[in-house]
Amino acid sequence: MVMKIKKVLLYLVILIVLIVLFDKVLMPYIVGREEVRVPNVVGMTYEQGKLILEQNNLEPTFGGERYDSKYPKGTIILQRPTANKTVKVGRRIYLIISSGNVKVEVPNIRYKSVEEANIILSRSDPAIGQIFEDTLTDVPKGLITSQSINPGEMVEKGTSINIWVSSASSTGNIEVPDLVGRSFSDVQQIIKSKNLRVGKVVYQPSIEYLPNTVIYQYPASGSYVQELTPIDLIVVKEKISGKEIIE
């Protein structure tokens, strides 16, 4: 019984000491810590912002990256707590850094008209920049012969792609008819009737067109070519669903 009383008394003494320490030491430290106003570091580089926060006795903390088209890569786009908040000295300030703009893959726009290229680029959001004339080419007039950024490269959204467009003189007196969207059997007859010939035929699946439909031709419709010029075609092999393409 005496031992139990001694243990209880010991616990009480320890508790009292802890209360006194908390009241006399910890609380004055917590309550009495100096306060500081958070400076605005948004728009600065991480290193610049970090230095300013440290000079104000705050603790800069990396809070991750986020795509942002308004701020260059490596720039602070968000801080928590926000600027002008009053906080205790030593408070952590979380900084979110820009990882740059969203990147997209450059599509192939060679051998397309400028109008077609604009439609293709609008899907991924690069844009046509400067347009140059290409006189040293055998590509039909009005078609793009080359592009400043190669297909497949990753660029930021809104990147400008310069293009070279053929201005070559007509190479013949036969106008190439529009064959896209027609059946392959009809196209063969049309080509023959124009005194042209079927060139390379490539088959591929499509989610839009029925089998045996022509979906691409080269040279493009409206071009002028010589007799017996081969017309290359892409023909739908089979129609598939979008789900099959994803799988």
* Domains of the chain (ranges, CATH numbers): 35-100 (3.30.10.20), 103-166 (3.30.10.20), 174-246 (3.30.10.20)
Q: What is the pLDDT confidence band of residue 161, given thresholds at 50, 70 and 90?
A: very high
DSSP state of 143: B
The DSSP element (H or E) to which 204 belongs, if any, is strand 197-206
pTM over 0.85? The answer is no
Tokens of 148: 């400043």
> What pLDDT, on the 0 to 100 scale, is given for residue 30?
53
Q: How confident is the model at residue 241 (pLDDT cuts 50, 70, 90)?
A: low
Give, rounded to a whole angstrom, the gap between the first and last alpha carbons of the chain.
Answer: 77
Nearest CA among 216, 131, 208, 223 for reference residue 173 = 223
Q: Give the pLDDT score at 62.
A: 93
CB proximity list for 28: less than 8 A, separation 6 or greater:
none
CA dist 159 and 162 (Å) reads 10
Q: Is the pLDDT of residue 27 over 70?
A: no
Q: Are 163 and 109 in contact (CB under 8 A)?
A: yes
**CB neighbours of residue 26 within 10 Å:** 11
